[in-house]
Amino acid sequence: MLSRRLPIGAFACWMLLIGLLWSMPSAAQEITPAASTSPDITSKVMLTPSPFASLLKDAREKANPQQTTLQQQPGQPPGQQPTATPQPAQQQQAPGQQNGTSHDRLFWALPNFLTVENAENVPPLTAGQKFKLVARGIYDPMEFVLVGFVAALGQASDSDSSYGQGAHGYAKRYGTVYGDTAIENFMASAVLPSILHQDPRYYQLGHGGFKKRAGHALSRVIITRSDSGQKQFNYSEIFGAGSAAAISTYTYHPQNERDFGNVATTWVSQMGWDAATYMVKEFWPDLRKKPHKDKQQ
């Protein structure tokens, strides 16, 4: 019985071996994708990742952190250098666009940091940001130049005769003008807006005729926005300018000027100066873009 089973078993083994060898070419064709094969052919082959792949990846990232920002684009040949992945639009924006502040300057010189030309999706300012923006404008070098010019005008017209003339009189006028400006800016654009939760920035209208835009600029003296974006009476401007006028009048102004009449005069003059500044802020972007248009033409 054993002698009869050996040939039969050997014959079965040979048939099995021949069948395996016959099926190997077709199996190789299924595993190896041809050039004309559809992209879905890779889904038929499941390769088990190495257990050391994550360790090797972490080691490469620590060794070359800059290369981790480069990614192979879909459909890009393996031999080409991978291109950098574009950053989101919010990361490419300037810091002034991110926090709703401006880096612009009026006439390319005077600070214009509390102006918003694009009022869409502007985040509210915190109390700290309000103080920082005001301080940034007050301590700007061009602000000292502007104060010096105003003090020179007062010196030429001898506006405060008690100050006298010469360097001594000019120094008094300079300190008075700078003190009035600094106190009014802090009270109207930082202190009261932080307490009352109002927005001290000027939002440019940017469209319409001259009358419409001029009316918008002048109305910002009595109309403002809250931190939540609602229109409100501009308590910060009105009472900020008034309190600043009272503080400056009864502290460092001459004794003969410490009365309510001088407080009212300073109060009105500061509000008038702010209204004129709003007019310049409204139309300054148009003046700023005009030289570029002339160069293109």
Q: What is the pLDDT of residues 112-150, one digit of tens each?
A: 888 888 766 788 899 999 999 999 989 989 999 999 999
Q: Return d(Cα 224, Cα 247) in angstroms, integer.
A: 24
Q: Return d(Cα 281, Cα 275) in angstroms, integer.
A: 10
- Residue 37 has what pLDDT? 45
Binned at pLDDT 50, 70 and 90, residue 245 comes out as very high
The answer, yes or no, to whether residue 203 has pLDDT greater than 70, is yes
Beta-strand runs (E) in 204-267: 223-226, 231-233
Q: What is the pLDDT of residues 246-287, one digit of tens each?
A: 999 999 988 888 899 889 998 999 999 899 999 998 888 888
- Residue 98 has what pLDDT? 45
232 pairs with which residues across the strands?
224
Entry pTM: 0.61
Q: Return d(Cα 256, Cα 252) in angstroms, integer.
A: 11
Name the token pair of 27.
């199996």
Mean pLDDT of 43-53: 48
- Residue 194 has what pLDDT? 96
Binned at pLDDT 50, 70 and 90, residue 68 comes out as very low
- Residues with Cβ < 8 Å from 245, sequence gap 6 or more? 180, 184, 263, 264, 266, 267, 270
Handedness of CA 202, 203, 206, 212 (dihedral sign): negative
